[in-house]
Structure 1
Amino acid sequence: MPSAMGCTSMRWHWPCRLSKGISLGYNKRWETASGNGDSMRTWLANLLAWTSSVKDEQDLVNGVQRVAWELDFEWFSFGVCTALPFSNPIMQMRCNFSSTWQRRYSDADFLLVDPSVQRARACTTPFLWQGELMRKMPQFWEEARAAGLRYGWACSRTNASRHQSMLTLARSGSTLDVTELNAKELKMRWLAETIAPVMERLLITPSHQAQHYRLTAREIEVLRWTADGKTQEEIAQILAISFDTVKFHVKNAVGKLGATNKTAAVVRAAVLGIIS
């Protein structure tokens, strides 16, 4: 159940397209990697080689499914939420959950109350489905367990453009004990980290990516000073340029960011990591 990370209204795309017979290609070597020393380095090298060669969504879904199974998880989900637009961010999600659970999760708007999502909003530290988390929203967890989602692990991250992503691995069988977690969590974290930029590349349209806006260095500089509370007259003095030139750069930045005024432009640029 990947996170919307605070998104209370969104356009949701949740297709689930899997081809169980498709192999990942590097799976034989992954199967022999124990998770320590040279074997871990080999496993990671293969993971990086695979993620760098992913061509489309189906490649990504099949690959994540394969790694999840090799780590003894039946279920997975991963998703990414755009930073913009504020009022209606776009959530893209892929998973292998049952179609029944997908419909129930969507129809009940569980995304807005999912304790796992809320936990991921608060911190990017990986976490298990246990303790206080499981005491929140008991009806939700009861239905999740009925769908085979009994034990899980999740990890979220935020990229430079402030898009937020989350990976969840879950299963219906035995709980995740300390011994198993110590042996596997490094791989789980690497999986979450390496698929995040692939998700962003494949699932987010160019218009929602920071590089789409193509602000010039001077436009960014002017926005930074604006964010610091400087007036256009003060910015002109600081940068030793004319007042009209400052106005020109501000107008261009506002237009490129699709904002209505310079304040909105500064906020958008900050959210996208352009002026961070």
Structure 2
Amino acid sequence: MDQKIINLYDEYTHTALSRKEFINRLALLAGGTAMAMTLLPMLENNYAQAASRLNADLIEEQITFPGAEGQVKAFAARPKGTKKLGTVLVIHENRGLNPHIVDVARQMAVEGFIAVAVDALSPFGGTPADEDKARELIGQLDKEKNLKNYLMALDYLRDRKDGNGKAGCVGFCWGGAMANNLAVNDPKLLAAVAYYGMQAKTEDVPRIKASLMLHYAGLDERVNAGISAYEAALKENKKDYKLYVYEGVNHAFNNNTSPTRYNEAAAKLAWGRTIGLFKDKLG
């Protein structure tokens, strides 16, 4: 698919561009409204394509824990057994807690961790089915209270009786930015993995204690614009980090429900590196 079309979709999903304007611009690029409507299903997420990890060896549950104001909803998964395990906070994209992120949490549990995927939209009653509405609500979150909810989620993970007291996090897009933010704000966080997420402020880098792993898509000009300054600050402050740029792939390359952006080879490579970090730091 024409990269201009993929870039337009990225703009639509990360800015205030209305759906009407997006469709109009898509029609111009595609050569007409009819062709735009044909391309649309290839651009939008298809959650039927999510590779479900449901199996008898996992314990799955819908949970709540105390947040900044009221209860926070989350999906939790862990392998069966009595061994105390490392814990991983899974942080969703700007669409809220959807089937893809639930599946990522399942994958993390299959790898031998307790995985908890928080629904950041809990203050609004939870993630709606309408993705446009979910993106709108993400923009309405109180940033300080939202950050506190995630910090409290990490405390919840460390306090779980079936956990070993060690916690890491992995986030995607909006969640990648949150992973960087948590590394700045939680000195007890042991490992933070950010997939194509906006960087922390360079002046906040000295506060980072966690080991960082940063995955970027080579074609993701919007997010990648911040790499150089962030890496320079990490080096200057002698932080433990690994940074990977996957050439020729798009933002959201890990999302297997996004057919035009998913890249299986890059996703598998990044996932293997992520799990390696967590096994090293949370085991």
TM-score tier by shorter-chain length is under 0.3
Rg (Cα) greater in structure: 1
Query: Which protein, 1 or 2, shows the higher relative CO under an 8 Å CA cutoff with sep ≥ 6?
Result: 1
More helix by share: 1
Structure 1 length-normalised TM: 0.25
Bigger strand fraction: 2
Name the TM-score, length of structure 2 as normaliser.
0.25
